[in-house]
Structure 1
Amino acid sequence: MTDSQDRPDEPEESGLPPELEQVLKGLTGGQELDPQMVEMLRGMGLDKVDPQMLQMVAGQVQSMFAGADESGAVDASVATDIARKTVAAEGDPTVSTSVDAQARQAVDVANLWLDAVTDLDHSGLTGRAWSRAEWVEATMPVWRELVDPIAVGVSDAMGAALTKQLGDLGEGGLPEGLVPPGTNPAAVMGQMGPMLRRMQGSMFSVQLGQAVGTLAGEILTGGEVSLPLVPAPDVVLMPEAITAFAKGLEIDEPQARLLLAVRESARTRLFHAVPWLAPQLLGAVRDYARDTTIDTDAIEEGLRSIDPTDAEAMQQALAGRLFAPQQSQTQKAALTRLETLLALVEGWVDVVTAAAVTPQLPQAEALGEAIRRRRASGGPAEKTFAALVGLDLRPRRLRDAANLFAALEASGGADARDAAWAHPDVAPSASDLDDPLGYVERQNAVASGSDTFDAELDALLRDDTSGESADGSARP
């Protein structure tokens, strides 16, 4: 009896090096390799690769794809590792105790100044000085949640485009020996689908890591991108970036630190005291991302002239081609909500910060102008999101929002300005930014009507407790 008859359930040897088999099985969830895929890989000459070199490559590939799943979703561990390496390459010193103490003191002072101009709650908020790596670790879960819908969509579209491309070419259109005779290349692609989705998800994870790592080197405070990336109670300052910012402006660093502490404290107060705001902001980004249409025609065009086994060439060919040029109606609605909320957040922060720092900082005006120029030139968040999800995060209507909050304050004081955050139904809409004075008039009318109602109710209750009727006579 032969060995194969003694062990009928044992799979036949593929003829590929064991190291390559191990990697491929890891990418396909441990399943046995499809014979057609094996023949294709042997036709590419991978069965003749030097085993020592293959073992080294195998280790790198396994490390890269270890946490990737077959949906093509972002692998947070890969993205975080890439981001940390990106910031380390640029230099990322550990925050000393004295630098952290400076941040705490600056935020304490900022909150004292803000207490004089707003009643929004800041209970428990604490100043922190973070390294870039600390910011990466803390914010990556939010980044992953925001970009996951795009990563999965790109992965699905890539697989479909490659399958269609190979199917259109047919066996005769491929290099000789790449697939076994009589094999449908599209069918082989179907067998390789899970592996390709893992590869695409890992590629997207690398892109996310590079983007967040770059962003970590540019931001001045934890929430400068206007999204609730760092939850309360942390009010985060980035000391290395603040030092470079002040030096570039030739402005006193302690004053720059104080102004940025006021801005970040105001922003953190807002997210802390207005519970509906953060979910609506993140929800708008997710709604936009979830309905993103991947431009499969552009992907197919990009893939037509490259080797589908060359991951770097694939990334270069697809640069700038992923997203359909036309936004869906859902995306347009989400973008309007997002732009409005971003403008309202930054407009309120501008107005409140100016009120808090103008009496306190001699260089407040110069610092404020520097912040406006930085924002107008396209901030770090804009670049990051434009690359990852095709979304521009610039608060385009910032000036309109600032005018609206300034008008509310001029009309009814700080209480009227901050009352706009009381409930999402009373918060200014995109149309209100078109007509700030009209919004102020409507809010004043509502407040006036409420005051009249409250006065009449108080009078009624007083009459009820005194035992007299409204005209002063005793009740029968």
Structure 2
Amino acid sequence: MSNQPSDPDRPELPPQLTELLRSLLGPDADQVIEEMSERGLGMTGPDGTPVDLQAMVQAAGLPEDPAALGQVLEQVKRMLAASGDGPVNWDLAHDLARQVAVAEGDPSVDEQQRREVTAAFSVAELWLDVATDLPPSGGPVRAWSRSEWVESTLGTWRTLAEPVASSVADALADTLASQATDVLGALGDQEALGLTGGAGQMMRQLGGAVFGMQVGQAAGTLSHEVFGSTDIGIPLTEGPGTALVPRNVTAFAEDLDVPVEEVRIFLALREAAHARLFTHVTWLRAHLIGAVQAYARGIAIDTDSLEEAVRTIDPTDPAALQEALSGGVFSIGTTPEQQAALLRLETALALVEGWVDEVTAAAAVAHLPHTSALREMMRRRRAAGGPAEDTFATLVGLELRPRRSRDAATLWSLIAADGGAAARDAVWEHPDLLPTAEDLDDPSGYTARRTAEGDEHADLDRALEEIFAADEGKDGDGAGQQDPEHGPGPGRNPDDGGTQSS
């Protein structure tokens, strides 16, 4: 507190603003409060615009009740104290995700459920051996509770979310800090202006906490919806292995007129097919995650839209910031290069989902009576997504669900019809062999286009062979001539250059 005597003629700062400054600036706050009080409430900012502190406090929604204000400020303190230096507060994300995962109770997986999951994968692997040349993935078979799913997958969400979180967090910090700078900078005092230097870092911490809340809420919600580790088309764990969440499998089967045993095997088939693909196509996981990261790193934030959004929310209220993020108010824009990258990524995701869809159906159709119904149900589910996937679309900057999986499944079916399962699976040998968006537009023309490309390559190879052969012929014609660098050729006298006598 300041030791200066109270001046009845000097206007006082709104008490909410006084407490907020003390909460955020610590011991330095008293000097700022003193300066602002001495200069009065009718200050102007650097651009000459009047700064109405009372109006600012009202717009921020800071409560007048001291107890309620104290709760708000204490919440801000806790969040800042828990925030690290990164764009996302992952400790907060982890804790919140666990809380959401267990909100409806999260009993441990019992031995009966483990046996059922193990048996389902044993059957699934046998059936897939007939449907694809890719061998089983190997690795552990896991039965997870919802909180175990969170623990096992949050690391990959970190990899996916941090690039765009960094861009948005920086823009958010700069925008929120500029508001503090406008107010403190109105003092016109260099020392007071220096106090704003920590505002950017503080706001980054607040932004990291908000992103942590967002990711944690979404991961926890998603733990109630997923069946295994590959539901979004990108494996959320590293290394080989398969997993199911028995509670979610049972809940899904309850809404269907299909025996739970049949549902469990069908979902095990999908998980095991994903696992085979990502284990034996060794470049695929890194290819997809790298594409997501490259796309996200290039995102440019629309700062005008961000500033407009911040004016309508209370920057001291993390829930308001979280709601703003959920509403997509940041208007993340993309460049033409990113649009092209996004098209390639979405095509690859569709190809993964289409391949799994086709292989799973081929493996199940002779054994599961409800294969067609389950296949259609999964197609609709993947196409529609859910609230948690929508949240991650905001954080990652794109929707991690395939838009054209039906077209991709049709394409894989046609490739298998023309060349068998081996030809279909051989397409995954190299990323350059993957079908394109044009192939999804016209699956029936894929074989003809690839044949034409093969003919062009063959023509190029023949032309290169002819060029190399011609060069070798020229080298042969020069036999017996003097080599200016290496001395005389065959049949020459090394002393006088004349012809050697016979």
- TM-score where L is the length of structure 1: 0.77
What residue in structure 2 maps to residue 469 of structure 1? none
Contact 2:22 2:30 in 1 (8 A): no
Mapping of residues 129-144 of structure 1, within 5 Å: 129-144=143-158
Structure 1 residue 75 and structure 2 residue 89: aligned?
yes
Tell whether the 8 Å contact from 2:98 to 2:147 is kept in structure 1 after alignment: yes
Question: Is the contact made by 1:285 and 1:338 (CA closer than 8 Å) also made in structure 2?
Answer: yes
Which residue, 99, 112, 124 being the options, matches 1:98?
Answer: 112
Q: Could you tell me how far 1:416 is from its partner in structure 2?
A: 0.6
Aligned with 1:396: secondary structure? coil
The 1:443/1:22 distance shift into structure 2, 3 A limit, reads same
Cα displacement (A) at 1:24 = 6.2
> In structure 2, what residue type is equivalent to 1:256?
V
Query: Which residue of the other structure, out of 396, 400, 403, is the alignment partner of 1:393?
Result: 400
Map residues 239-250 of structure 1 onto 2, 5 A cutoff: 239-250=246-257
1:383 to 374, 382, 390: 390
- Cα distance in structure 2, aligned partners of 1:330 and 1:33: 47
Alpha-carbon distance between aligned partners in 2 of 1:55 and 1:326, rounded to the nearest angstrom:
37
Displacement of 1:312 in angstroms is 3.2
Counterpart pick for 1:280 among 283, 287, 294:
287
Instruction: Read off the aligned partner of 2:205 and give its amino acid letter.
Output: R
Q: Secondary structure at the match of 2:88?
A: coil
Q: Give 1:240 deviation, angstroms.
A: 0.9
Aligned to 1:124: 138
TM-score by length of 2: 0.73
Q: Which amino acid aligns with 1:121?
A: P
Partner of 1:409: 416
Q: 1:361, 1:213 → 2: CA distance?
A: 32
Matched, 1:295 2:302: yes
The count of corresponding residues between Structure 1 and Structure 2 is 417
2:489 is matched with which residue?
none
Name the counterpart of 1:149. 163
1:71-128 CA deviation, whole Å, 9 max, x = no partner? x421222211110000111221111111011111101110000001111122524422
Q: Distance in 2 between matches of 1:321 and 1:384?
A: 9
Whole-angstrom distance in 2 between the partners of 1:165 and 1:214:
34
In 2, the alpha carbon distance for the partners of 1:105 and 1:399 equals: 30
* Aligned residues of 2:350 and 2:403 also touching (Cα < 8 A): yes
Match of 1:212 in 2: 219
AA of the residue aligned to 1:156 = D
Which SS does the other structure have where 2:242 is aligned?
strand
State whether residues 301 and 331 of structure 2, in contact with CA within 8 Å, keep that contact through their aligned partners in structure 1: yes
Q: Which residue of 2 aligns with 1:418?
A: 425
Contact 1:292–1:323 under 8 Å retained in 2: no
Taking the TM superposition and a 5 Å limit, the aligned residue runs for 1:21-420 are 64-66=79-81, 68-70=83-85, 72-167=86-181, 188-317=195-324, 319-324=326-331, 326-379=333-386, 382-420=389-427
The answer to whether the 8 A contact 1:294-1:323 is kept is: yes
**Contact 2:89–2:208 under 8 Å retained in 1:** yes
Gap change, CA 1:402 and 1:192, over 3 Å in 2? same
C-alpha RMSD over aligned residues: 3.7
Equivalences for 1:450-461 in 2 at 5 Å?
none
Q: Which amino acid aligns with 2:425?
A: D
Unaligned runs of 5+ in 1: 1-19, 173-179, 452-476
Is the alpha carbon distance of 1:95 and 1:380 closer, same or farther for their aligned partners in structure 2, counting shifts above 3 Å?
Answer: farther
- In the aligned structure 1, how far is the partner of 2:31 from the partner of 2:335? 40
Once the two structures are TM-superposed, the CA of residue 443 in structure 1 deviates from its matched residue by: 4.5
Q: Could you tell me how far apart the structure 2 residues matched to 1:279 and 1:81 are?
A: 28
Partners of 2:166 and 2:433 in 1: CA distance:
36
SS of equivalent residue, structure 1 residue 89? coil
More displaced 10-residue stretch of structure 1: 111-120 or 226-235: 226-235
With over 3 angstroms needed to count, the CA separation of the structure-2 counterparts of 1:231 and 1:61, relative to structure 1, is same
C-alpha distance in 2 between matches for 1:117 and 1:371: 19
Q: Secondary structure at the match of 2:114?
A: helix
Contact 1:221/1:236 (<8 A) preserved: yes
Contact 2:171 2:303 survives alignment (8 Å): yes
In structure 2, relative to structure 1, the CA distance for the partners of 1:199 and 1:164 (3 Å cut) is closer
Distance between the aligned counterparts of 2:322 and 2:423, measured in 1?
Answer: 51
| Closer/same/farther in 2, CA of residues 370 and 156 from structure 1, 3 Å limit | same
Query: Identical aligned pairs, as a percentage?
Result: 47
Q: Taking structure 1 as reference, are residues 342 and 326 closer, same or farther at Cα in structure 2, changes over 3 Å only?
A: same
- AA aligned to 1:262 is L
